[in-house]
């Protein structure tokens, strides 16, 4: 009986589809492939959503326990693509500005989501900034396209998940005993760690971590060192303690100093705050060893992919980073991650109310499913 019901349901779905499709068939023409209804239109909807952090997130000037975000859906031909804008306050976008931006988007001029370049070019030209809002549209479109084609996004880019590097996990700044406990826990699950430096206790933090683990470590100075010779001395010290890369050691506008430091540094120096979008990549060559790409800063997967390829032409290393995000935006970056050198995609692991499942941490790597699109599924919202 169950079998019959199943067959009947399949039949109804199929016959409904054929009935709709045959409207566009000439007499005697054989239906061999899905035919799109020309009157179908993409429908974009969105809603604000607050990401709750597992632990308070402390920066030099503030502490926060939540990150605002906006969830986006684009529907077409019975499929729904999911996207997301994650909005840490220091980037200048808010749920209000993203909502205002998304309200201006009119997708009715486009026949289908496969006009991706035209759609994203149109979206990009609506305003100059709003990169996270643009990324939400881009991510939803890629999820939708993957679902319509029945393939995971990594295949749209010709990538294999087997090449995904281990992700770093960021140890947050705290008192030594807390750092020790955090590091011990993280070392069980991750193959590579990251820590924020740039205050007056850098060496104490590194020695605390090194008292617990010898795992490869990336340091992110977030522009915190204000002298190039001091930075070089620190980097030489870090090299001896198994640090493998340094992110944004000097203020973002210190180009000459960055070039001086990169030339002499025994460790690769990656730019983060010094770049945002593809137009910045060419400027990086000669001043840094590599770039940190974030979907929320660069308008999404499409531009990130172009940045990765341009960076390769410029002989630059590439890291993929994130904000605190649900598994939706993290999955989007994970699908591109086989193409990069360093992966820093721990954002979904830092929140307590993820909306999706579909990224799994396995042997220190963030892996996608092989389901179509981003490969994510909505889960019940936790309170
Ligand atoms: Mg950084």
How many angstroms is it from 338 CA to the middle of ligand 1? 20
Max CA pair span of the chain: 79
Quick one: pLDDT at residue 31? 40
How many angstroms is it from 222 CA to the middle of ligand 1? 6
Q: How confident is the model at residue 91 (pLDDT cuts 50, 70, 90)?
A: confident
How many angstroms is it from 13 CA to the middle of ligand 1? 49
Q: DSSP letters along 48-82, please?
A: EEEEEEEEEEE-SS-EEEEEEEEEEEEEETTEEEE
Quick one: pLDDT at residue 55? 82
Quick one: pLDDT at residue 61? 57
How many angstroms is it from 183 CA to the middle of ligand 1? 19
Neighbour count for residue 353 (Cβ, 10 Å): 16
CB distance 117 to 47 below 8 Å: no
How many angstroms is it from 77 CA to the middle of ligand 1? 39
Distance CA 354, CA 326 (A): 5
**Every domain of the chain and the residues it spans:** 160-378
Q: What digits encode the pLDDT tens for the residues 191-235? A: 999 999 998 999 999 999 999 999 999 999 999 999 999 999 999
* Mean pLDDT of all residues in 57-84: 88
* Mean pLDDT of all residues in 135-142: 98
* Mean pLDDT of all residues in 306-328: 97
How many angstroms is it from 237 CA to the middle of ligand 1? 20
How many angstroms is it from 272 CA to the middle of ligand 1? 5
Quick one: pLDDT at residue 13? 32
Q: What digits encode the pLDDT tens for the residues 318-373? A: 999 999 999 999 999 999 999 999 999 999 999 999 999 999 999 999 999 999 99
What are the backbone dihedrals phi and psi of residue 351, each rounded to the nearest 5 degrees, phi first?
-115, 155
How many angstroms is it from 185 CA to the middle of ligand 1? 22
How many angstroms is it from 231 CA to the middle of ligand 1? 16
> Chain-wide mean pLDDT for the chain?
90
Bridge-based pairing state of the strands 269-271 and 290-294: parallel
* Mean pLDDT of all residues in 85-93: 92
Give the distance from CA 39 to its chain's centroid: 33
- 116 pLDDT higher than 70: yes
* Mean pLDDT of all residues in 243-272: 98
- Using CA atoms, how far residue 10 sits from 5, 16, 198, in Å, is 9, 10, 60
- 284 pLDDT higher than 90: yes
- 58 pLDDT higher than 90: no
Quick one: pLDDT at residue 60? 54
How many angstroms is it from 345 CA to the middle of ligand 1? 12
- Specify the DSSP class assigned to residue 118: H
Torsion over CA of 210, 214, 215 and 221, rounded to 10 degrees? 30
Distance CA 292, CA 269 (A): 10
160-378 under CATH 3.20.20.120, yes or no: yes
- 274 pLDDT higher than 60: yes
How many angstroms is it from 319 CA to the middle of ligand 1? 10
How many angstroms is it from 220 CA to the middle of ligand 1? 5
Distance CA 158, CA 230 (A): 43
Distance CA 63, CA 281 (A): 31
Q: How confident is the model at residue 164 (pLDDT cuts 50, 70, 90)?
A: very high
* Mean pLDDT of all residues in 67-95: 96
* Mean pLDDT of all residues in 98-103: 97
How many angstroms is it from 225 CA to the middle of ligand 1? 14
- Gyration radius of the chain over CA positions: 23
Quick one: pLDDT at residue 137? 98
How many angstroms is it from 155 CA to the middle of ligand 1? 28
Quick one: pLDDT at residue 6? 35
Kindly report the pTM of this predicted structure.
0.88
How many angstroms is it from 298 CA to the middle of ligand 1? 14
Bridge-based pairing state of the strands 168-171 and 192-196: parallel
How many angstroms is it from 176 CA to the middle of ligand 1? 22
* Mean pLDDT of all residues in 275-295: 97
Q: What digits encode the pLDDT tens for the residues 5-24? A: 333 333 233 333 333 333 33
How many angstroms is it from 311 CA to the middle of ligand 1? 17
Quick one: pLDDT at residue 36? 47
Distance CA 259, CA 301 (A): 29
- Using CA atoms, how far residue 326 sits from 333, 352, 358, in Å, is 12, 10, 10
Quick one: pLDDT at residue 59? 60
Distance CA 278, CA 306 (A): 7
How many angstroms is it from 368 CA to the middle of ligand 1? 23
Quick one: pLDDT at residue 381? 59
Q: How confident is the model at residue 4 (pLDDT cuts 50, 70, 90)?
A: very low
């Amino acid at each position: 009986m169950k079998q019959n019901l199943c067959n009947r349901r399949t039949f109804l779905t199929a016959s409904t589809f054929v009935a709709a499709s045959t409207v566009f068939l000439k007499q005697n023409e054989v239906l061999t492939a899905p035919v799109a209804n020309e009157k179908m239109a993409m429908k974009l909807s969105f809603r604000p959503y607050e990401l709750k952090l597992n632990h308070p997130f402390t920066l030099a000037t503030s502490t926060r326990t939540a990150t605002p975000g906006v969830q986006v859906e684009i529907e077409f031909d019975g499929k729904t693509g999911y996207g997301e804008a994650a909005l840490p306050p220091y980037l200048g976008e808010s749920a209000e500005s993203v909502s205002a931006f998304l309200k201006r988007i009119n997708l009715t001029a486009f026949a289908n989501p496969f006009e991706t370049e035209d759609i994203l070019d149109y979206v990009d030209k609506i305003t100059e900034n709003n990169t996270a809002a643009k990324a939400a549209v881009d991510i939803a479109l890629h999820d939708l396209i993957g679902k319509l084609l029945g393939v995971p996004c990594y295949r749209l880019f010709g990538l294999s998940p087997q090449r995904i590097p281990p992700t770093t996990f960021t140890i947050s700044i705290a008192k030594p005993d807390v750092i020790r406990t955090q590091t011990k826990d993280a070392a069980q699950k991750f193959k590579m760690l990251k820590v924020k430096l740039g205050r007056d206790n850098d060496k104490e933090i590194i020695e605390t971590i090194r008292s617990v683990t010898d795992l490869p470590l990336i340091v992110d100075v977030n522009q915190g060192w204000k002298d190039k010779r001091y930075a070089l001395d620190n980097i030489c010290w870090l090299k001896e303690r198994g640090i493998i890369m340094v992110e944004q050691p000097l203020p973002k506008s210190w180009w000459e100093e960055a070039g001086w430091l990169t030339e002499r540094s025994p460790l690769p120096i990656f730019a983060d705050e010094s770049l945002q979008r593809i137009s910045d990549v060419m400027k990086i060559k000669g001043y840094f060893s590599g770039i940190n790409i974030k979907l929320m800063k660069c308008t999404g997967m499409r531009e990130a992919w172009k940045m990765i390829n341009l960076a390769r032409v410029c002989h630059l290393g590439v890291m993929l980073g994130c904000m605190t995000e649900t598994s939706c935006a993290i999955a989007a970056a994970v699908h591109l991650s086989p193409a990069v050198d360093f992966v820093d995609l721990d954002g979904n692991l830092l929140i307590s109310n993820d909306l999706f499942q579909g990224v799994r941490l396995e042997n220190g790597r963030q892996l996608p499913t092989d389901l179509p699109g981003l490969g994510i599924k909505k889960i019940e919202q936790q309170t």
